[in-house]
Amino acid sequence: MTDWTEQTATARNWFESLRDRICAEFEAIEREAGSDATFAYTSWDRETEDGSDGGGGVQGKMLGKVFEKVGVNVSTVSGAFSSAFAAQVNGASEEEPHFTATGISLVAHMANPHVPAVHMNTRFLTTQKAWFGGGADLNPPIEYKEDTDAFHARLRAACAAHNPTYYERFSKWADEYFFIPHRGVHRGVGGIFYDHLECEDTATFDRHFAFTKDVGEAFLDAFPAIVRHRMGMEWSEEEKALQREWRGRYVEFNLVYDRGTLFGLKTGGNIDAILMSLPPEVTWG
């Protein structure tokens, strides 16, 4: 079985550098809005039953004038899945439950209901297999078609640079994944979602890593532009109430269906980091 230690470190370093650039861009937006809000960073260590090194991560959180609540987390963890959970993970089994995982995860809930919330994550996991996954999706309480089109266009370009089938496949996957069955509605206006881009050797690692990096770059290019375009718009209390109710749908999806939330809880991750996707204010109508 291939030793992916070097590749895991390479992916981790890039995820951390992406975090630093995203956080700097979000803080710059706060400055443009007359706010001095900055990210606060909290390190955490993953606890293991036998006391071995399980890795950990850094949770970054900012409460600002534009970004009502935004979390940007990077974690690198390792260990063994429980026997019940191992069967649900690509390449893991009760006989061989060990894993490593490194990735970046971001959720931003915005103060202005005209500015869409957003989710982005990219990750590299190894079990008996190794693969990349990730994506980005836009979640507006009040949709503007030009924002939706611009976000999708940037992701489409990132996909097209690597495989002509990626955008159609991964945008469809996002539509299917970010759906709330008990409500019969989508969580947002989509984006892309992909998983299990498997690496058989260093060549396929390099290829899938290059795509994953381009997804991160596409997000960093597209989302701040949308924020700057919408953040100065006035809003009514009715629109803010609509945003809070829409956030309830977001919470329902993340707590009931989201695989990333389940993975974090099942692998002993940091609870605050796992649940950073929850908005600061929410209502259920």
Q: How is 246-273 classified by DSSP, letter by letter?
A: HHHHHHHHHHHT-HHHHHHHHTT--HHH
pLDDT computed for residue 273 by the predictor: 81
pLDDT computed for residue 115 by the predictor: 98
pLDDT computed for residue 124 by the predictor: 98
Residue 47 lies in a domain: yes
Residue 187 lies in a domain: yes
How many folded domains does the chain comprise? 1
Q: Which of 135, 117, 124, 20 is nearest to 72 (CA)?
A: 20
Residue 131 lies in a domain: yes
Q: How is the chain classified by DSSP, letter by letter?
A: ----HHHHHHHHHHHHHHHHHHHHHHHHHHHHTT-----EEEEEE---TT----EEEEEEEE--SSEEEEEEEEEEEEEE--HHHHTTSTT--SSS-EEEEEEEEEEEEESSTTSPEEEEEEEEEESSSEEEEEEEEEE-SS--HHHHHHHHHHHHHHHHTT-TTHHHHHHHHHHHHSEETTTTEESSSEEEEEEEEE-SSHHHHHHHHHHHHHHHHHHHHHHHHHHHHHTT----HHHHHHHHHHHHHHHHHHHHT-HHHHHHHHTT--HHHHGGGS-SS----
pLDDT computed for residue 2 by the predictor: 82
pLDDT computed for residue 266 by the predictor: 76
What is the model's pTM? 0.93
In the residue annotation, 186 being an active-site residue is answered as: no
Residue 283 lies in a domain: no
Residue 284 lies in a domain: no
Residue 233 lies in a domain: yes
What is the block-wise mean pLDDT of the chain (285 residues), using blocks of 10 residues? 91 98 98 98 84 88 98 93 77 81 97 98 95 98 98 98 98 97 95 97 97 98 98 98 95 90 78 86 86
Q: 102: domain range?
A: 5-277
Residue 52 lies in a domain: yes
Q: Which CATH number does the domain housing residue 26 bear?
A: 3.40.1500.10
State how far the Cα of 91 lies from the Cα of 5, in Å rounded to an integer: 17
Distances (CA, A) of 148 to 118, 154, 275, 281: 12, 10, 26, 24
Residue 191 lies in a domain: yes
Annotated catalytic residue, options 114, 119, 152, 186: 119
